[in-house]
Amino acid sequence: MSNETFKRTLLHQDDAMMQELLGDLNQFQPYLKTLKEKFNNFNFTDEPFSYSVFFWITGGGDVQQLIDKYFKQVNDSMTETGLLYDRLRNMLLEDAQQPVAEFRKAYNDLINFRPSDPKPKSIFAEPRNVVLKLDDITFDDESQTFIVSENTQKRLIENFRIYIDNQEEQDLYNTLAALRVPLLNYYAKLKQIKYPANLTQGYLPTDFLDQFFEFEPGVQKADIKPNSIKWGVSLKYRK
């Protein structure tokens, strides 16, 4: 069967890793909430904080436009109330610098923030090599919360999926799957005669088997390691 007609199949999906990734949102939350708070301090009557505002701010929009709009609003408000005394107007404009400085800081803190490096839960666990990024986050107008949308989650889950992509990989998987039952039967026989051994104690070619199977000492278990399939096929092409 050619690769053109081979049907790609999902071998493994690590939901625990995906949940860890989504947990990175908690690290962003203080910075996201501060940005929203400082934006709302501008008191724009025609533009509350929303999905479109957040998308514009974090998507490369010119933040200076927001600041110019804020100062225009302050000036217009003073004019509408008949405040024409220059000294007093300048004092109020000077006071208006504070929310601008706070917004700039909140913006810069958020843009420059990166989640801490993910660490494996144990020395045997696979490390997570993906972290949540700012452009993975959106603002939900209905719940008024920051979220990772369903569409984004569908894209991110691909980081934690392993597929069988071609016939060579399928053949290797089928071979390992066929080997699994004899391995377990062999172990069961050892247990039956009370032989002090398990699948990883030197009674099998474990240097080879450990590359492809996940053994659990004391338990009749031999699971195929999802990451081993592509590695095993790649051995054929090494020089």
Model pLDDT, residue 206: 53
Tokens of 104: 């700039």
Confidence band for 210, pLDDT divided at 50, 70 and 90: confident
Mean pLDDT on 110-121:
82
pLDDT of 200 higher than 60: no
Mean pLDDT on 56-69:
89
Range in 63-72, 97-106, 113-122, 157-166 the model is least confident about: 113-122
Going by C-alpha positions, the residue among 211, 189, 179, 216 that lies closest to residue 201 is 216
pLDDT of 202 higher than 60: no
Mean pLDDT on 224-229:
92
User: Beta strand pairing status for 138-140 and 9-13?
Assistant: unpaired
Model pLDDT, residue 223: 87
Model pLDDT, residue 235: 85
Alpha carbon 133 to chain centroid, angstroms: 7
pLDDT of 199 higher than 60: no
Confidence band for 121, pLDDT divided at 50, 70 and 90: low
Percent of the chain residues past pLDDT 90, beyond the cut: 51
Range in 9-18, 27-36, 183-192, 230-239 the model is least confident about: 183-192
Average pLDDT, whole number, for the chain? 84
Domain definitions of the chain by residue range = 9-161, 165-237
Model pLDDT, residue 219: 62
pLDDT of 188 higher than 80: no
Model pLDDT, residue 191: 67
More confident residue, 213 or 104: 104
Range in 107-121, 139-153, 165-179 the model is least confident about: 107-121
Mean pLDDT on 211-223:
76
Report CA-CA distances (Å) from 42 to 38, 48, 201, 221: 7, 10, 68, 61
Alpha helices in the chain (DSSP H): 15-23, 25-40, 51-58, 63-80, 86-95, 97-112, 150-156, 167-192, 206-212, 228-234
Confidence band for 85, pLDDT divided at 50, 70 and 90: low
More confident residue, 54 or 125: 54
Tokens of 196: 């002090």
